[in-house]
Amino acid sequence: MAKQILVTGGTGFIGSHTVVELQNNGYEVVIVDNLSNSKIEVLDQIEEITGKRPKFEEFDLTDKNKVKAFFNEYSNLDAIIHFAASKAVGESVEKPLMYYSNNLNSLMNIMECMSEFNVKNLVFSSSCTVYGQPDQLPVTEQTPRKEAESPYGNTKSICEDIIRDTVAANNELKGIALRYFNPIGAHATAKIGELPLGVPNNLIPFLTQTVAGIRPELSVFGDDYNTPDGSAIRDYIHVVDLAKAHVVAIERLLNDKNKANYEYFNVGTGNGVSVLEIIESFERATGEKVPHKIVDRRAGDIEQIYADTSFANEELGWTAQSTLDETLSSAWKWQTNIMETEK
């Protein structure tokens, strides 16, 4: 009998790609999403790609009674992947209480029900923001966590602590936190990709929407950082590579290959790329020009960060496969597909 996985936030960008990979690997998937930053039509696209429609429940995970009712109904869950969270750095600086309330309460409600309903395995969507602005690069799993530069980043650190402490108090539970860097790109079919509601907070959807003429120009936040070209540096990973890391993490938990009840891994490419280099790569990969201007730095942003992924490569047997040009090309293919379908 196929293992059943709950994917919270499963109609979102990373969640939907992970659902595809799970279903392609024979897992039964149940999605819970409140559709606050995604569309129900994503279920159609997942079905088109995989030939199977995941089960779907629409509610807010901060509602403890609804979470409990869900676990009561779905009593055979083998594992949970928890994506559902508010995730914009800039917005979190402006609305910290909303971020703390949503991101912490949803996790605590899930973990309470895990204990009560005997669901033992959790993969958590964490972030490299837990490292703050690191003193040394690249960051390894041994790099000390620092005080976060934003409330969003701080919620990821606190959620990691909640998981660590909860599994320490209950030996039946196991958790893996995947600290990912900057997911970009889209599925090769161009049927799913990053489509935030409203004005995008992330670089790539804003960039592709600018090239598509939806936005007037791309703002590059700062050219006075201590980096080779002055723009901020990140580690950009193809979302499908990232999705596959979640499947590997689930298999590690279900097959009892975890070395401790709580583990955490960096999931990136190991390459630091600046914003201006992203623009160059996109133009090279697609032949399209990116209208852009330099503006002031953005609150909550750090100067540079990229991963040392050797621990994840060795322990999980997982490595990012896609080149930056391939990844950006997939993002543009997704954007042009959206425009075609909207005509």
pLDDT at residue number 343:
66
Confirm if 130 and 157 have CB atoms less than 8 A apart.
Answer: yes
Confirm if 102 and 86 have CB atoms less than 8 A apart.
Answer: yes
pTM: 0.96
Nearest CA to 302 among 94, 97, 150, 100? 150
Those residues of the chain that have pLDDT short of 70 are: 343
Task: Indicate if 152 belongs to the active site.
Answer: yes
DSSP string, 95-151: -HHHHHHHHHHHHHHHHHHHHHHT--EEEEEEEGGGG-S-SSSSB-TTSPP---SSH
Report how far apart, in Å, the C-alpha atoms of 16 and of each of 10, 51, 194 are: 5, 14, 10
- pLDDT tens figures, 228-239: 999 999 999 999
DSSP string, 54-87: PEEE---TT-HHHHHHHHHH-TT--EEEE--S--
Q: Which amino acid is at 177?
A: A
Choice among 152, 225, 262, 306 that is catalytic = 152
pLDDT at residue number 41:
96
> C-alpha dihedral over 73, 81, 90, 186, to 10 degrees?
-110
- pLDDT tens figures, 24-39: 999 999 999 999 999 9
| Beta strands per DSSP E along the chain | 4-8, 28-32, 55-57, 79-82, 121-127, 174-180, 182-184, 218-221, 233-234, 236-238, 262-267, 273-274, 292-295
